[in-house]
Structure 1
Amino acid sequence: MIPPTFTLQEAADELGVHYMTAYRYVRLGQLDASKVSGVWQVTDQAIADFRNGAAAGPVARGKRAPWAARLEDRLVEGDAQGAWSVIEAAMASGADVRSVYLDLLSPAMVQIGARWASGEFDIAVEHQATGIVMRIIGRLGPRCIRRGRSLGNVVLGAPAGESHGLPTAMLGDLLRLHGWEVTDLGPNTPTASFLHAVRHGTEVKAVGLSVTHPVHLIDAEACCRAIKKEQPDVFVVVGGSGVSGVSVSDLGADAQATSADQLHELLRAR
């Protein structure tokens, strides 16, 4: 049987709240809803779930609000305003910028990627979500600049053919929070452009290459070896799911990092 659905006004009436209050619940990801032909629709199960959550209360539940799941829901729906509302609500509840990146944005996008890979929805949904997250990062970026003396410059990017720019965008801001200056070259960057950035950058301490799929390892290796040949003192680090299980020496890199914190520690240790 198809579960009963309600318009948002009907859902508001069921919950005994004003329409705009129910709309705010949707925007914050607290009330599950979907747009069908431009109209918000809410299932009776979503209303029951909302009531159960409200009845339990944050103390009784003993858990942090599921911000990542709420954000994921808004991103899948293509709701940019709602996604930003979730971010604002999380920060108002005490989440700092670093937590937003690590505990909301990253888990939400990883889960969306997994759902696309399983065939749950079209790649268009993942691309739309990525676009929204990139705009969110653009709004959060200025909050990642740390005052004081710079630790040096790190050049980030993805090698030729690698189309994913979100990992380095997030990594760059997390490194900035540690006090590094970051030059993010983004996705699909030719080796010559990495070399240009290193030659003309100020106090370039390291180059970080992000690889999300093994098919791009050949280009990543060529890039690593070209940088080390021309600039042997520059620390070359690789990361991303595409380098999992691959020997760093086979790629011509100096090290592998799985997180911004690990990369920061590697750089500080040099």
Structure 2
Amino acid sequence: MSSTHTLQEAADELGVHYMTAYRYVRLGQLEAVKVGGTWQVADRAISEFRNGSAAGPVARGKPAPWAARLEDRLVDGDAQGAWGVIEAAMTSGADVRSVYLDMLSPAMVHIGARWAAGEFDIAIEHQATGIAMRIVGRLGSQCVRRGRSLGGIVLGAPAGESHGLPAAMLGDLMRLHGWDVTDLGANTPTKSFVHAVRRAPELKAVGLSVTNSAHLDEVENCCRKIKDAQSHVLVVVGGSGVGDVSVEDLGADARATSADQFHELLLAH
């Protein structure tokens, strides 16, 4: 029968200092659960940690499960630990693009699915989103590409859409490609989109992030008003809320299911 150990006992078993073992837990490298305010580590977790590597927590020849580690920290509301996972991944070679596409996005999608399945309260999802936005804020300064701009892009979520994280990550990824990005964030009224479109220099496209199909009427209104204001501008919709609705019915020019596809649409326009 499997037994459990305190974190100090686990540290002794692993031959490391208590704070080193604690750091492994915070980075999601050593599985542990908190019981009554005390970390408990199972025999199995200690064994798996040892078998992963003779000198560290990542198994030789196997990619580290960074997204799962990050998700654990986000669900626990552990902002410092979440950033520690990001730092550990980047130290291991991950760049900002990989952090967004292979870690942060999958973690948040899975958290949303777990909330939808009733696994935890919406407060957990909101807390995780807040931490994720802080991570994006810290990484944004690295999303700069030197050289001539490819043109301007306006991004945002239309009225009723409360999720600004997808557009924020997309904006940084587009900046890495060399685009000038104006991110209007979540719940942006149509008139504000039109205002931004008229002001943006060398505007190439507008991207609307849609996570809830209940707001498709507002999405359509926004797309059509943008086209009325600047008919030459490419209007692209994306996100799980679009579903199987045709882009023509929404008044848009195209749909993008990934940052790379969005970039390709911009280049082809």
TM-score range, shorter chain: over 0.9
> What is the Cα deviation at residue 74 of structure 1?
1.2
Counting only pairs closer than 5 Å after superposition, residues 50-199 of structure 1 correspond to structure 2 as: 50-54=49-53, 62-199=61-198
- Mapped partners of 2:3, 2:136: distance in 1: 37
Q: RMSD over aligned Cα, in angstroms?
A: 1.9
Once the two structures are aligned, what percentage of the paired residues are identical? Answer: 79
TM-score by length of structure 1 reads: 0.93
- Mapped partners of 1:229, 1:249: distance in 2: 15
- Mapped partners of 2:226, 2:208: distance in 1: 11
Mean alpha-carbon deviation: is it higher for 50-59 or for 69-78? 50-59
Q: Deviations over 1:47-81 (max 9, x none)?
A: 23323323598897532111111111111111111
- Mapped partners of 1:111, 1:4: distance in 2: 30
The 3 A distance-change label for structure 1 pair 226 and 155 is same
**In the alignment, residue 22 of structure 1 is paired with which amino acid?**
A
Stretches of structure 1 lacking an aligned partner (at least 5 in a row): none
> What is the Cα deviation at residue 194 of structure 1?
0.1
Which residue in 1 is equivalent to 2:21? Answer: 22
**In the alignment, residue 177 of structure 2 is paired with which amino acid?**
H
**In the alignment, residue 16 of structure 1 is paired with which amino acid?**
G
Structure 2 contact 198–229 (Cα < 8 Å) conserved: no
> What is the Cα deviation at residue 97 of structure 1?
1.2
TM-score by length of structure 2 reads: 0.94
> What is the Cα deviation at residue 152 of structure 1?
0.9
Q: Secondary structure at the match of 1:154?
A: strand
Which residue in 1 is equivalent to 2:38? Answer: 39
The 3 A distance-change label for structure 1 pair 56 and 107 is farther
Structure 2 contact 115–121 (Cα < 8 Å) conserved: yes
Stretches of structure 2 lacking an aligned partner (at least 5 in a row): none
Counting only pairs closer than 5 Å after superposition, residues 242-257 of structure 1 correspond to structure 2 as: 242-257=241-256
- Mapped partners of 2:7, 2:84: distance in 1: 18
